[in-house]
Structure 1
Amino acid sequence: MAYDEVLARRISDLLEGEPGVTSKKMFGGLGYLVGGHMAVAAASSGALMVRADPADCEAWADGEAIKPMEMRGRPMAGWLLVDIAAVADDDELGQWVHRGVRFVRTLPPKPPSP
């Protein structure tokens, strides 16, 4: 399944002018990176993927609209999957997008790929 292009456009609009943000197609979705770290993505499932401090993930996950992300059946620490219905309004989407960006800005930049 392809990513939700409307969601991707909304994310792009929110991140316009944000220093150091790039986008990259990956895993069937469109990821938004800061310093080489993916902060958020329009996932191939249609949801929003958000990178966050693992301690915050536990507090923010509700088990329904906001869940810990799993890849191949294994939980991925520091990643949340936010259902599209939970980011229907731009303020809600902005909150999640900026949480991801704020967290990855705390990480050391990744060296460029060769």
Structure 2
Amino acid sequence: MAYNEYLADRISQFFREKSVPFEAKKMMGGLCFMVDGKMCVGVNRDEIMARINPAIYEESLKKEGCKEMNFTGRPMKGFVFLTEDATDLDDDLNSWLQLALDFNPLAKASKKKKKK
């Protein structure tokens, strides 16, 4: 299991309850949830990756269960990993997911790769 399917189901349910159109895509060994063609949140093993506003990034890292996302040897500002301590309760998970959803309209879409 590359990602926690229960967490993925909880995220899907949140988006459906909010009537937010999304696409779930397998990427980076996990499952990413795309909103408006942009990565919003994802599940990697037992952690959730959330793309939040860089303006609240430093403050967010002080919260229990929130840590910097570091795939490449350096942290990516605005991207955080959330452990079970941050997402176990539905209210806590929903709060993080709402932060990611709120930032989504401001987030830049990744550049599309040209097909050869």
2:31 is matched with which residue?
30
Count residues in correspondence: 113
Report the AA paired with residue 23 of structure 2.
T
Q: CA deviation at 1:31?
A: 0.7
- In structure 2, do the counterparts of structure 1 residues 63 and 99 end up closer, same or farther at CA, with 3 Å as the change threshold? closer
Q: Distance in 2 between matches of 1:100 and 1:67?
A: 15
TM-score by length of 1: 0.86
Richer in strand (by share) = 1
Question: What percentage of aligned pairs have identical amino acids?
Answer: 34
Q: Relative contact order (alpha carbons < 8 A, sep ≥ 6): 1 or 2 greater?
A: 1
Correspondences of 1:1-114 after superposition (within 5 Å): 2-16=2-16, 18-44=19-45, 46-62=46-62, 65-107=65-107
Q: Secondary structure at the match of 2:78?
A: strand
Tell me, which stretches of 5 or more residues in structure 2 are unaligned? Answer: none
Residue identity in the other structure for 1:10: R
After TM superposition, which residue ranges in structure 1, 4 or more long, deviate above 6 angstroms? 110-113
Instruction: Give the gaps of 5 or more residues in structure 1.
Output: none
The answer to whether the 8 Å contact 1:50/1:96 transfers is yes
Q: Following TM superposition, by how much is the alpha carbon of 1:64 offset from its aligned partner in structure 2, in angstroms?
A: 5.7
